[in-house]
Chain A
Amino acid sequence: MSNTDLKVRVWRGSQEGEFVEYLVPRNPNQTVLDVVTYIQRKLDPTLSYRFACRVGMCGSCAMTVNGVARWTCRTHVSQILQGDSLEIAPLNNLPVIKDLATDMREFFNKWKGAVGFFKGNQTRHDDFAKVEPHSVERQLANAGIECIGCGVCYASCEVVESRPNYLGPAALNRAWTLTNDVRDVQQLERMRAVAGDAGCHACHTQGSCTERCPKAIEPTAGIAGLKKLVARAAIRGSKWGKL
């Protein structure tokens, strides 16, 4: 372990700006979030960034580290250091508010756009819904429900970059989990929402989302499921109605 300082290039500005280099002392067991925090507290209090839990549960600290979207609290400097330098930038594909903080509204709006929210038709006066935990649908849904909306997959996707309307892996993954929720009553609207230029068929299976998801969720799988579902509905109709 050397005692030279880390040379850390950090994006300052918003849509326009520049990388500014800071010298940060090396420590053992240092995460990238530690580095950013050090810069803001000791070197430059004007640096803007987001974090919350700092223990890998909330997804707020996601940034682009050496070109790759990661959770900074779960990224050890020793894991990604190139020589003695590293580069920290805001998440791609999202407008930059300031420095390392991005505007996540479009990310969450697309979640809504994909009908990525639950709606049932039972009330507290009805009996519990019975969902068989080992059913095919429930297992498919379970594979994707741990998503905490951190934006890493969205920031990693080249299709999001080239098709600004593309709903993106997180929204489509959420839509897929709800498609497999037998209690949900908006399946037809959801299918319509994920069809089209901006929907699941724009995915080219590049797999960056699956590769980068810090929770090992595989949006590529859910999107493949949606592609089949929507295509069959377009041609043969679905159990919920004609597309």
Chain B
Amino acid sequence: MSAGVLQAKLWYAQRISAMVLGLCVAIHLAIIFYAIRGGLSAQEILGRTQGNILFAIFYEVFVLACFVHAPIGIANILQETFPRSGLARPLSFILALLILVLGTTAVIGVFTGGQL
């Protein structure tokens, strides 16, 4: 794949994931505003998410969209700020890994509530 085709595909992937995130973030903000009324405890969080397959699917989609979107953005920033450092690829790969692993763990965590 030529450099041009790679850049174009990365741009497209980032924009498509942005569209998904636009929806997810809007919904998430609404959920957060609803949920934080009167404080937010672990019990309350798990009360809503535990066993709730719809929440789990929604948030896993959210995690996957972040996993695509954020590393590409970070790679761009690093490439422009530190052009000859070679940091862009490794750091964005690490971010991608962190988002995927920690995010999916979090989704499994709130879905199972520790009862694996």
B-binding residues in A (CB < 8 A) = 159, 162-163, 192, 195-197, 199, 201, 227, 230-231, 233-235, 243
B residues near A159, Cβ cutoff 8 Å: 80
Q: Which residues of chain B in 2-39 are interfacial with respect to chain A, using CB atoms and an 8 Å cutoff?
A: 2-5, 7-12, 15
- A162's nearest neighbour on chain B, judged by CB, is B80
CA distance A181 to B11 in the complex (A): 25
Given contacts A227-B11, A231-B12, A234-B12, contact A195 B80 (CB under 8 A): no
Q: Is the interface of B mostly helix, strand, loop or mixed?
A: helix
Measured between alpha carbons, how far is A197 from B5 in the docked complex, in Å? Answer: 10
* B7 neighbours in A (Cβ, 8 Å): 195-197, 199, 201
- Nearest chain A CB to B78's CB is how many angstroms away? 12
Chain A residues in 8 Å Cβ range of B12? 231, 234-235
Residues of A within 8 A of B9 (CB): 231, 234-235
B11 touches A231 (CB 8 A): yes
- Residue with the greatest number of chain B CB neighbours at <10 A, chosen from A163, A201, A233, A235: A201
With the chains together, A227 CA to B4 CA distance in Å?
A: 11
Bound CA span A195–B7, Å = 7
Q: Knowing A201-B11, A234-B12, A235-B12 touch, does A196 contact B4 (C-beta < 8 A)?
A: yes
- B80 to A234, Cβ gap below 8 A? no
Contacts of A235 in B (CB 8 A): 8-9, 12
- Chain A residues with CB below 8 A from B83, complex form: 162-163
Q: Among A162, A163, A243, which residue has its beta carbon within 8 angstroms of that of B5?
A: A243
